[in-house]
């Protein structure tokens, strides 16, 4: 018999808001870290820092770390890790508001994957949501493509791969523990980083100075200027994901998901307070449209 989960929307909203605040804060420092080390070094160092945290969480009863189907868990981890490659990679080049807007296009891509790859029926409201969301995408990317070029499209790639990860979570990893899927994501980030370092060693590209060298920089032994950022990322991302999972365990997913869009408030707010980074009118319009699309999809799921 399937256990009955609690349904406390108010408490779920509180958990989700806490998770979004933590993640929005620590992600704001990635752009500063990009000036010193590479994305690949960040992934490897953070991976080893998160393992003891995940093990401790498992030991105190927060879930198993043993997978039921290893290959399924690793496949799902590979997809989400690739999403994080594009998301964190974009933070070295674009404002956090644009990076978040791209990542949170994932509900739109999930719907398209469900239609065209899984053959699932959808209703008119979710089709409308896709249209609204794509208008938002055009508004956000159009505002920056002229000045940033292809770098402005990195967040959209993050949203696409994250959507594949979401579908894999539903279709491949039913019954797997949350901590199992968390560590698999960090492992696959480390695998991608190892391949990236191998490519950098073979081709030996010249890495530009500052944040422009985030993806092309080799290993930097002196991490003292940014090690605190990596530590904050390791701890903050684990705590943030914990509260997000807690929110989905406390109320219906369609309700809890609405509060995820609060990161569009917290992320740019921290960017403004910390770095004086503003948000343009066109970006605000695009973010509102993308958020509206996600909310429509959440409310109309699973039936529409």
Q: What are 189-231's pLDDT values in tens digits?
A: 999 999 999 999 999 999 998 988 999 999 999 999 999 999 9
Q: Count CB atoms within 10 A of the CB of residue 258.
A: 17
pLDDT tens-place string over residues 77-95: 999 999 999 999 998 888 8
In whole angstroms, what is the distance from residue 251 CA to residue 271 CA? 30
Q: Using H for helix, E for strand and C for coil, what is the string for 10-38? A: HHHHHHHHHHHHHHHHHHCCHHHHCCCCC
Mapped onto helix, strand or coil, the DSSP state of residue 285 is helix
pLDDT in tens, 11-64: 888 988 998 999 999 999 999 999 999 999 999 999 999 999 999 999 998 889
How far apart (Å, rounded) are the C-alpha atoms in residues 107 and 129?
Answer: 10
| pLDDT score at 252 | 66
pLDDT at site 149: 60
Categorize the per-residue pLDDT at 8 as very low, low, confident or very high, splitting at 50, 70 and 90: confident
């Amino acid at each position: 018999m399937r256990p009955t989960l609690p349904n406390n929307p108010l408490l779920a909203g509180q958990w989700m808001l806490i998770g979004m605040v933590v993640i929005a804060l620590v992600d704001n420092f990635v752009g500063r870290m990009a000036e010193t080390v590479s994305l690949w070094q960040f992934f490897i160092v953070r991976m080893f820092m998160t393992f003891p945290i995940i093990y401790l969480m498992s030991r105190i009863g927060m879930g198993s770390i043993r997978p039921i189907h290893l290959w399924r868990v690793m496949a799902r981890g590979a997809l989400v890790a690739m999403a994080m490659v594009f998301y964190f990679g974009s933070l070295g080049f674009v404002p956090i508001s644009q990076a978040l807007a791209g990542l949170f296009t994932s509900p739109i891509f999930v719907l398209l994957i469900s239609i065209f790859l899984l053959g699932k029926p959808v209703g008119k409201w979710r089709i409308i949501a896709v249209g609204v969301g794509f208008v938002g995408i055009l508004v956000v990317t159009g505002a920056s493509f002229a000045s940033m070029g292809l770098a402005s499209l990195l967040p959209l790639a993050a949203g696409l791969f994250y959507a594949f990860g979401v579908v894999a979570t539903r279709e491949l990893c039913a019954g797997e523990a949350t901590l199992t899927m968390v560590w698999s994501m960090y492992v696959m980030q480390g695998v991608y980083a190892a391949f990236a370092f191998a490519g950098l060693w073979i081709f030996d590209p010249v890495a530009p100075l500052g944040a422009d060298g985030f993806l092309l920089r080799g290993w930097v032994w002196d991490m003292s200027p940014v090690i605190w950022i990596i530590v904050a990322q390791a701890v903050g991302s684990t705590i943030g994901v914990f509260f997000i999972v807690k929110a989905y365990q406390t109320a219906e997913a369609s309700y809890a998901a609405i509060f995820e869009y609060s990161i569009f408030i917290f992320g740019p707010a921290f960017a403004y307070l910390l770095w004086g980074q503003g948000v343009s009118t066109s970006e605000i319009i695009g973010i509102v449209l993308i958020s509206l699309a996600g909310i429509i999809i959440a409310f109309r799921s699973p039936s529409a």
